[in-house]
Structure 1
Amino acid sequence: MTIAVTTPTGNVGSRVVRLLVQAGERPRVLVRDRARLPGDLLPHVEVAEGDLLDQAFVADAVKGADALFWATPESFTAADPLADMVTMGAGAAAAVRAGGVARVVQISSVGAERRHGAGLIDGLARNEEQLAASGADVLTLRCGYYFTNLLGQLDEMRAGSLTTTMPLDRRLAWVDPRDVGEVAAVRLLAGWSGTAVAAVHGPADLSWGEAAAIVSAATGRRIEAQQATDDQLRAALLAAGLTEPAAAGVVGMAAGTRDGFEPEQGRDATTTTPTTLEAWAYATLRPLLT
């Protein structure tokens, strides 16, 4: 079986590649720079080097594959990240059709079910529609809030705070992206038929106040959650060099998934994964904050 994998150096894609290799597969990895791949994996993968915005590259790279793991990368430094996401999704769908790819596992997000009004998540919603129309059997994994997003707030946490535009008592699904990769790899190996949507919600729904307390206990630092306004976040992003469309896309992700929003897929045995924020924060954040 030939399984093509995008974002093989990302938080989710790297786990997918590692598990496929350990299962005896030789995945075809689509990577911008092969030098970023771990050296120990190179003998066990087929490398296709190029840019996912290059539709000709994607079409050639997935041709003849039995299955595709598709994750649309978000580039906050792009001039218009949302437009890039839609372009990449169009290229993926065209490549799947032309290349005769039978099955696709795609990574999406809680909030994509809204279709509009959730910032950059709207790009994932459009990707869901694009790949659903490709003719392949498509499994969409709508994932919760990645633990790894906290890595972008290390300086804040060192100063004792964790900022969000969410209400501090608003609970949402938090998930380790490695667990998402494990679900994706299992589904790629096991197979399915038809088009389906499944959620990956992590072990528990947490508020930002609860998350800050968990991170505090795990790292030995006193960290308190604080709420900022959308305008404050937008101003900070613009000051950091993001374009107006990029800043609007980031702000919109939280704005579109609060105020009464509830995920279409609920929490049950099929959506709950094992790794806790406590375990992840102790192993990953604690060394970075000490």
Structure 2
Amino acid sequence: MSKRDAFVVLGASGHIGSVVARRLLQEGHQVIAVVRDEARASDLKSAGADIAVVDVGNMEALRATLNRGRRAFLLNPPAPVTIDTDAEETRTATTIADAVAGADLEKILVESTYGAQPGNAIGDLSVLWNFEKRVGAAAIPTAVNRGAYYFTNLDMLLNEARQGFITTMFPAHLKIPMVAPTDLGMAAARRLTTPLDDVGIQYVEGPKAYSFDEVAAAFAETLEHAVTVRTIERSEWESSLKQAGFSEQAAHAYARMIEVSLGGFDMPEDPMRGTTSLRAYISGLVKTGASAHC
């Protein structure tokens, strides 16, 4: 494999990274798929990817893998909610950025989030803002794709929806930008192959914004029974998250992230738009079951 032709894809067995890797392979590119478990990448291996089993917390091993490629897709892996997510995700983000700083790459793309901003204990908003800044400090052309609210966050609502309700911390009527991981992966694959001057922040969302009333309606249509929305009061957010298995630190950070998001942040005027609708995603979720999406 020629270094000139290789794309390194972190999180290649996940929701977004797998789409990036498959798309690049379909276009005839060489792909080095970075995964933690080779068994989960058998389809990519069959499709022609070079599988690299690397712990992204191992800076030297990750840098050596990055140096095998020409361009790289960087995604900070989510930490289990049972631990201090901010601390663990900050650790891996720092290690990835340190690996990139010493790598010989011509372009990188960072997967980030709407509302990324400096702060303390606000979950992905602050962790990924710092990730953007740390990676961007390297002398490598850097593109950043900030994704809207992931449809995969709705997967955990399937069992509730089967019982006729869903719960949320968002106001039921509030429309928020949402996006399918497939569309995020396709957008990332496109930007990875664009010229070196295609850098900076772009935003990616689905065809339109949706409310949780619309989420309930999509479940109701697919399940063919009524589904209502139950809104959790702010005073109960953290206790509700802890009951769901979140650590104390993770529950606090996630609640703060929702609180800051509801306070508003700069929205893009002309985002990149995917094609997957809420109804299409929910229909697929119901057909395949949450286990296929989690």
Question: Paired residue for 1:171?
Answer: 175
Aligned-residue identity in percent: 25
- SS of 1:41's partner is helix
Q: How far off its partner does 1:287 sit?
A: 4.7
Q: How far off its partner does 1:60 sit?
A: 1.6
User: 99-108 or 152-161: which moved more?
Assistant: 152-161
Q: Does 1:265 align with 2:268?
A: yes
Matches within 5 A, 1:5-24: 5-24=9-28
Matches within 5 A, 1:114-263: 114-116=117-119, 118-193=122-197, 195-259=199-263, 261-263=264-266
CA RMSD, 1 decimal: 1.9
Q: How far off its partner does 1:39 sit?
A: 3.5
* Aligned partner (choices 49, 54, 67) of residue 45 of structure 1: 49
| Number of equivalent positions | 285
C-alpha distance in structure 2 between counterparts of 1:208 and 1:77, whole Å: 23
Compared CA separation, residues 106 and 221, structure 1 to 2 (3 A): farther
C-alpha distance in structure 1 between counterparts of 2:13 and 2:163, whole Å: 30
C-alpha distance in structure 1 between counterparts of 2:59 and 2:45, whole Å: 26
- SS of 2:188's partner is helix
Q: How far off its partner does 1:241 sit?
A: 3.3
User: Does the 8 Å CA contact 1:81/1:120 hold for their aligned counterparts?
Assistant: no
Question: Paired residue for 2:78?
Answer: 74
User: 27-36 or 220-229: which moved more?
Assistant: 220-229
User: Does the 8 Å CA contact 2:203/2:272 hold for their aligned counterparts?
Assistant: yes
Q: How far off its partner does 1:182 sit?
A: 0.4
User: Does the 8 Å CA contact 2:161/2:216 hold for their aligned counterparts?
Assistant: no
- Which whole-Å deviations, capped at 9, do the CAs of 1:183-214 have from their partners, x for residues lacking one? 11111122332641000011101111122212
User: 156-165 or 279-288: which moved more?
Assistant: 279-288
Q: How far off its partner does 1:253 sit?
A: 2.3
- SS of 2:152's partner is helix
Compared CA separation, residues 47 and 56, structure 1 to 2 (3 A): same
Counterpart of 2:83, as a letter, is A
Counterpart of 1:232, as a letter, is E
Compared CA separation, residues 281 and 43, structure 1 to 2 (3 A): closer
Q: TM-score, normalised by structure 2?
A: 0.90
Q: TM-score, normalised by structure 1?
A: 0.91
| Unpaired stretches in structure 1, ≥5 consecutive residues | none
4+ runs deviating over 4 angstroms = none
Question: Paired residue for 1:2?
Answer: 6
- SS of 1:53's partner is coil
Compared CA separation, residues 262 and 43, structure 1 to 2 (3 A): closer
